[in-house]
Amino acid sequence: MSELNKIALKILSNGKGILAADESNGTMTKRLDAVNVESTPKNRLAFRETLFSSESMKDCIGGVILYEETINQISNLGKSIPELISACGAVTGIKVDTGAKNLANSPEEKITEGLDGLRERLKKYYELGARFTKWRGVYSISNNYPSKLAIHSNAHALARYAALVQECEMVPIVEPEVLMDGDHSADECLEKTSEVIKKCFEELIMHKIDLSGIILKPNMILAGSNSKNKISNEEVSDKTLECLKNSVPTEVPGIAFLSGGQSEIEATENLNLISKNNSTNFIMTYSYGRALQQSALKFWSKDTTKITETQDVFNHRARMCTLAAQGKWTRDLENK
Ligand code: 13P
């Protein structure tokens, strides 16, 4: 078993999942504005370290993805943030892309940037304690999109990123996110997501990536958020499993879904069915941002001194997601 495979398994095993707390300052400002909290470095740290020192970190969270600002902050609890995370038995991760920009010659689409100087930045993150990383490619579905150009160029960037990360002995999360925005059907989502993921693996293989030392972070297969033809949770699970079975090489140890704008309960229920019906060898778990943090952030924003109570809200969500990753979640547990 390679060292990279061991790290991936440490993050994903036993129902553990990933807390995606790597919102850029721009995105975090949007989240904080929505709950009327000023977006300062101090407030961003205060909320995040409240989560990182929660009880459920030990049993539920195998890895935390940080944003550059956070990995350099000193916790008010006297430890560095990576120390706080590893004290819970979790692995520190870091978002290393620098964001999605307009794609030249297809300006309605995006290409993710951040390859320049990445090798040097990775060394610094490793020294700070990071052992895994994240890079997100983003694709939207509409009449002519995603284009072959967007599918190809994002897959190429993801593969170059993954190669540099493995060279630096860290596990790359490969995140091709097909957005749920739009009125497309679930079958269109299935078709486009399959094409996107297959192209990613074509490039990853060309770049000689050790597939046993990566984590795939895809979207679930859903109808567009404005579609009139929503599908059932069972269908989400069936189509998602069909997509992954047909597009992901068997060497990949695990798949950690993004929540992508689903509600907390939807994201939990869909993961539960996917795990329950999973006949593949892939570990299926979560790497949620909003679907882990939304309720906790709302609660905290009302009184930022209520640390323990905010942690209770987060603990509940993390425990529900960890049960779902094992196919053991039921709706009645939400009210206990
Ligand atoms: P959401 O779960 O809120 O989609 O965030 C996950 C993530 O890391 C997106 O890049």
pLDDT in tens, 200-223: 999 999 999 999 999 999 999 999
Q: Which atom of ligand 1 is nearest to the CA of 290?
A: 3
Helices (H), 227-276: 233-247, 264-276
CA distances (Å), 87 to each of 151, 159, 204, in order? 39, 32, 33
CB distance 260 to ligand 1 below 6 Å: yes
* Encoded tokens for 242: 């069909």
Query: Looking at ligand 1, which residue's alpha carbon is closest to its atom 4?
Result: 260
* Encoded tokens for 60: 């539920």
Query: Measured in angstroms, how far is the CA atom of residue 75 from the centroid of ligand 1?
Result: 23
CB distance 258 to ligand 1 below 6 Å: yes
CA distance 243 to 191: 8
Query: Angle, nearest 10°, between helix axes 186-206 and 233-247?
Result: 30
User: What pLDDT, in 10s, does the model give residues 51-98?
Assistant: 999 999 999 999 999 999 999 998 887 889 999 999 999 999 999 999
pLDDT for the residue numbered 285: 98
CB distance 20 to ligand 1 below 6 Å: yes
Active site residue 217: yes
Q: Which atom of ligand 1 is nearest to the CA of 293?
A: 3
Give the three-class secondary structure for 38.
coil
Query: Looking at ligand 1, which residue's alpha carbon is closest to its atom 5?
Result: 289
Query: Measured in angstroms, how far is the CA atom of residue 243 from the centroid of ligand 1?
Result: 20
pLDDT for the residue numbered 185: 98
**Radius of gyration of the chain from Cα atoms?**
19
CB distance 172 to ligand 1 below 6 Å: no
CA distances (Å), 53 to each of 14, 47, 112, 126, in order? 20, 10, 32, 22
CA-CA-CA-CA torsion for 319, 320, 321, 322, nearest 10 degrees? 50
The answer to whether 51 and 77 have CB atoms below 8 angstroms apart is no
pLDDT for the residue numbered 138: 98
Query: Measured in angstroms, how far is the CA atom of residue 321 from the centroid of ligand 1?
Result: 14
SS3 content of the chain, % helix, strand, coil (to 5): 50, 20, 30
pLDDT for the residue numbered 78: 81
pTM of the model: 0.98
- Which residues, other chains included, contact 15 with Cβ-Cβ below 8 Å and sequence gap of 6+? 60, 285, 322, 323, 325, 326, 328
Q: Which atom of ligand 1 is nearest to the CA of 267?
A: 2
Give the three-class secondary structure for 34.
helix
Query: Measured in angstroms, how far is the CA atom of residue 137 from the centroid of ligand 1?
Result: 12
CA distances (Å), 302 to each of 25, 35, 37, 43, 314, in order? 21, 8, 9, 13, 15
According to DSSP, residue 283 is labeled E
CA distance 173 to 166: 11
CB distance 178 to ligand 1 below 6 Å: no
pLDDT for the residue numbered 234: 98
Q: Could you tell me which residues are beta bridge partners of residue 173? A: 134, 215
Query: Measured in angstroms, how far is the CA atom of residue 23 from the centroid of ligand 1?
Result: 8
CA distance 169 to 18: 19
CB distance 259 to ligand 1 below 6 Å: yes
Parallel, antiparallel or unpaired: strands 283-288 and 171-178: unpaired
pLDDT for the residue numbered 143: 86
- Which residues, other chains included, contact 114 with Cβ-Cβ below 8 Å and sequence gap of 6+? 96, 97, 98, 99, 135, 161
CB distance 286 to ligand 1 below 6 Å: no
Q: Could you tell me which residues are beta bridge partners of residue 92? A: 64
Query: Measured in angstroms, how far is the CA atom of residue 267 from the centroid of ligand 1?
Result: 11
Low-confidence residues in the chain, pLDDT < 50:
none
CB distance 290 to ligand 1 below 6 Å: yes
Pocket probe mutation, ligand 1, options 23, 181, 288, max atoms within 8 Å of Cβ: 288
Backbone angles phi, psi at 184, to 5 degrees: -70, 160
pLDDT for the residue numbered 336: 76
